[in-house]
Amino acid sequence: MKRTIRTTALVVGTLLATVGLPTAAAQADDPAPRVDLRVLVVSDGGPSTDAIAAELESAGTPYTEVDLEDTGRPVIDAGFLTDTVDGRPRAKYQAVVLPNDNPFPTGSAEMAAIVAYEQTYAIPQVDAYTYARPQVGLNAAVGTGYAGSVDGVRAEVTQAGKAGPFGYLEGTVPFEDNSPTVNESYAYLSTPVAGADFTPYVQAAIPGRPTMGSLVGEYRHDGRRELVVTFVYNRYQQQYRLLARGIVAWMTGGVHLGADRNYFAVHVDDVLAADDRWDTELNCTPGDVDCQPGEGTPNPIRMVPADVDRATAWQDDRDFTLDFAYNASGTVDHREDHGGQDPLADKLVADRGRFRWINHTYTHAFLGCVQDTSVVPWKCATNPDGSTRWVSRNEIADEIATNEAWGVAAGLPLSRDELVTGEHSGLKVTPQQPEDNPHLGPALTDTGIRWLGSDNSRDPVQRRVGTATTVSRYPMNIFYNAGREAEQVDEYNWIYTARAQGGSGICEDNPATSTCLAAPLDTATGYDEHIVPLETRIALGHVLANDPKPHFIHQSNLAEDRIAYPVLDGVLGGYDELFAADTPVVNLRMKDIGVEMQRRAAWRAALDAGQVTAYRIGDSVTVRAPEGVAITATMPTGTRHDGTGFGAPYAGAVSGWAFAEGLPYTLDLPVSAGTAAEGDGSGTPAPTLAPTNAAPRTEVPSGVEEQVPYGAER
């Protein structure tokens, strides 16, 4: 039988002395401790601790990871956790993340050191995924609770959760159920032990019982605070993405480096131009390079004025702004062919202030190598000496400058340093053109371009090209050559089914393709029933991942059947159902997204190089970063720097970027932002098992797969 103990001054004092940390009596006259703004993540290789580490990485929050399976790892003892700086005791970590409540062997000195550290410095602990059991303040799930699949369950945030770390959520936390044949989520649902100081933050109904069971809750005991999570998850799953921000807010008390916001921007390419249409008989696009020369009859898709009215009305309804990437030759050619008339261009110019505009080059010409389209797929034309023939610097500059001049004359609210080339051409495209056109960078410099759109599926990392920095864009799987739902489904079937089913066979040749179909979709219903939910889930996954990269579609998708709107409505409508009003979607234009990505890269490089220090002493936070590197932080509302409010409000906190120019940057926290509560707050201490009793290993249960959503690597 495992021994139980009560939290008494004698027991705690003995434990502190045993592991080498100062006792409360010894600290009575000591200065206030320094707590470094860094998280300790102790991992067992499981998906849950990996997910929390990924959230910290994405936000730019410093952390140290200790892999329990690494035989060369450091030993976690008092010296690893604490030291003294300038005569002041220092806690090296503001929070501790463990795979479960105690992943160490029974009687472990390392767990004893962690317990003493948490008690001494009021350091919170996250149990990334643990069983419901009395050691974490919950009744065992067997008997009165539930252990099993929670696929499709709609959990709810409790009032305590809304008043606390999960106040940015509207109230429900839906668990994914993407496949009827795969168990995606497993959980232990249980109620708190009688007398335990346990507060559920997220809970769900226990099947077959009239009670709710905790999925995420806070357990206070022995002068410690634990966030107890009793469901397994990975970094991609929606339920975790919804809760990740709150887990970090809880463990840091809302005071940490880094920031997490939910971004969504949509670029509409080829505005003013017309897009070639998919031929459902030929399974190619006449007029484009996937059809043999002269094959089929082009039947282009182009918006009409009513489509502009629909776009403006949709924006007003969604409080969202689209970015229109335009090709001016589309209207110049149209007027030449229609007696000088172009109602679409007239309407767009009249409503120009309703949208953001991006230069997409004048004719949408391919600006990489000179294409040899006499073969399918095309290849780069070569010079007599075998070298690649490139589109010239002057030709590229002319495409950019001529389009810009038309936009300026039309009064478009352009940001003249932004550019998206047609098909992202000029940049490398494999396999035909594995390097950038060497004339692209100089032409961008000639025309003052600083931000250049790139295709995330083939060029995901931000980089410099001449004076420009790339901004990777996510291609939505809504095809440029489809104006009708049936066309979209037909092409989708062609791409993603087997040759024996009349498809292209791409999935047979590339089994890792994530959108493969077991059978063709019904052209009448497949768009709404399969493509829309899938594309919505993929895009919403990007939004919830603190990922500012824009998505792109084409003007054809706003015409005819207007097939883009069901997906866009799915993303924004689904978002509104999940988040409170103080956590809106952040809708930035391309250059601002580029700046955000650039700052993140510099910040991450400084963190990786050990050039950032940050700590809290009482109600003051001090941050040091290299000159020229912007600092990013999330703080409680009311935080000030030199008497001025810090950051901008988001999700119940304030966050933002600031430049310290190599000097210490200080933040004064509001009085309400106290340190983690000392003691367990329970009045009468509840019985708990000794912290040296290890938890059962929290592995992913048999049959539960770590779902990565379709397109996560796109």
DSSP structure class, residue 296: S
DSSP structure class, residue 275: B
Distance CA 215, CA 231 (A): 6
Among 329, 341, 319, 343, which Cα is nearest to 271's? 329
Distance CA 161, CA 203 (A): 10
The CATH number, out of the four listed (3.40.50.880, 3.30.230.10, 2.30.110.10, 3.40.50.11030), of the domain defined by the range 10-253+676-689: 3.40.50.880
For the domain bounded by 266-482+536-590, which CATH number is listed?
Answer: 3.20.20
How far the first Cα of the chain sits from its last, in Å, is 52
Distance CA 417, CA 373 (A): 32
Distance CA 234, CA 697 (A): 17
Distance CA 471, CA 536 (A): 22
The owner of tokens 């956590």 is: 583
HEC assignment per residue over 437-454: CCCHHHHHHHCCCCEEEE
Q: Rounded to 5, what percent of the chain is helix, strand, coil?
A: 30, 25, 45
Following CA atoms 454, 456, 458, 464 in sequence, which dihedral angle do they give, to the nearest 10 degrees? 40
Residue 18: the pLDDT is 45
Pairing of strands 640-641, 644-645: antiparallel
Among 571, 482, 121, which Cα is nearest to 276's? 482
Show the tokens assigned to 163. Answer: 């008043």
Distance CA 25, CA 711 (A): 57
Residue 634: the pLDDT is 98
- Rg, C-alpha atoms of the chain: 29
Q: Which residues, listed in sequence order, are joined to residue 95 by a DSSP beta bridge? A: 39
For residues 555 and 563, is the Cβ–Cβ distance under 8 A? Answer: no
Residue 674: the pLDDT is 66
What's the predicted TM-score (pTM) here? 0.92
Distance CA 463, CA 699 (A): 40
In order along the chain (714 residues), what is the average pLDDT of each group of 10 residues?
32 43 50 95 97 98 98 98 96 98 96 98 98 96 92 97 98 94 94 98 95 98 98 97 98 98 98 98 93 92 98 98 98 98 98 98 98 92 97 98 98 97 97 97 98 96 98 98 98 96 91 89 97 97 98 98 98 98 98 98 97 97 96 98 97 96 93 56 37 63 54 41
Secondary structure (DSSP) of 514-576: TT--SSPPPTTTHIIIIIHHHHHHHHHHHHTTT--PPEEEEGGGGSTT-THHHHHHHHHHHHH
Show the tokens assigned to 640. Answer: 């000030």
Phi/psi at 472 (5° precision): -70, 140
Distance CA 711, CA 714 (A): 5
Instruction: Strand 82-85: give its sheet, edge to edge.
Output: 82-85, 88-91, 34-36, 613-617, 620-624, 665-668, 640-641, 644-645
| Residue 415: Cβ-neighbour burial (10 angstroms; 0-12, 13-18, 19+) | middle
Helices (H) and strands (E) counted in the chain, each on its own, are 18, 35
Q: Is the peptide bond before 438 cis (omega within 30 degrees of 0)?
A: no
Pairing of strands 356-359, 371-372: unpaired
**Stated length of the chain:** 714
Type of residue numbered 315: Q
For residues 118 and 96, is the Cβ–Cβ distance under 8 A? Answer: yes
3-state secondary structure of 391: coil
HEC assignment per residue over 407-437: HHHCCCCEEEEEECCHHHECECECCCECCCC
Q: Where are the domains of the chain?
A: 10-253+676-689, 266-482+536-590, 605-666
Type of residue numbered 338: H
Residue 511: the pLDDT is 86
Distance CA 637, CA 496 (A): 49
For residues 358 and 424, is the Cβ–Cβ distance under 8 A? Answer: no
Distance CA 569, CA 579 (A): 15
| Residue 501: Cβ-neighbour burial (10 angstroms; 0-12, 13-18, 19+) | middle
Q: Which residues make Cβ contacts (< 8 Å) with residue 415, sequence separation at least 6?
A: 356, 358, 451, 589, 590, 591
Residue 256: the pLDDT is 98
Distance of CA 396 to the CA centre of its chain: 34
